Amino acid sequence: MQHDMFAESRSAVRIGPGAMLLGGFASAEARALLAQIPKLGAVSPFRHMTTRNGGRLAVAMFNCGETGWISDRRGYRYQSLDPETGNPWPAMPDLFRSLAGRAAAAAGFAGFSPDACLVNRYDAGTRLSLHQDMDEQDHDAPIVSVSLGLSATFLWGGALRADRPERHRLHHGDVVVWGGPSRMTFHGVDGVERGDHPETGPWRYNLTFRRAQ
């Protein structure tokens, strides 16, 4: 398909110290990755989590793996049980774990073994404001993110919230790996483009792999 051929022809770009955008790295597996989402969602459904001040996160999410990121009136944290169901999060599919490990190795982080995968779902116009990921115990491990479906503009800031962010378009099948000096960089998603993607319809999905505990 035209779209995937374009993605596969894109190359690896260093976007910062320890940060690599691997264009199209997951293209060949994208369909198989997406096929897992409804199966996982049957165990832990997508939901809009609550924030400390009673707001609602615009991004819908759930986790798979040994532990998962949550937000509620008490704040942000990782926990091994899904608060919505009271049960453990669904297990991380082998394909997810394997892809995350291969992408991390391609970016210079051999031996990455994630214990958490946050599955984010965006609709057109949904934004994720600039933030740092600091709820994980292990800040030495990289974070691997896989973009699926509609394209989005990713904001890549600096060590301070006030640093003006660079913008990078992320497309279906792109993988980004952040580690080392880039691990605490402010980042966000400025907007998902409206569209009807052949694989995901009106959605963008992002799989974010982390070593959390």
- Binding residues vs ligand MD3 (CB under 6 A): 118, 120, 128, 133, 143, 145, 178, 182-183, 185, 187, 189, 206, 208
| Size of site (CB under 5 A) for Fe ion | 1
By the rule CB under 5 A, 4 interacts with Fe ion = no
- Let me know: does 62 contact 85? Beta carbons within 8 Å: no
Nearer to ligand MD3 (CB atom), residue 27 or residue 178: 178
3-state secondary structure 136-205: CCCCCCCEEEEEEECCEEEEECCCCCCCCCEEEEECCCCEEEECHHHCCCCEEEEEECCCCECCCECEEE
Does 133 contact Fe ion by CB under 5 A? Answer: yes
Q: Which does 174 bind (CB under 5 to 8 A by kind): ligand MD3, Fe ion, none?
A: none
Least spacing, CB of residue 35 vs ligand MD3, in Å: 20
Least distance between ligand MD3 and beta carbon 200 (Å): 14
- The answer to whether 62 touches 47, Cβ cutoff 8 Å, is yes
Tokens of 43: 């165990």
Shortest Å, Cβ 164 to Fe ion: 18
Q: Nearest to residue 96, comparing CAs of 141, 7, 30?
A: 30
The nearer residue to ligand MD3, 5 or 201, going by C-beta atoms, is 201
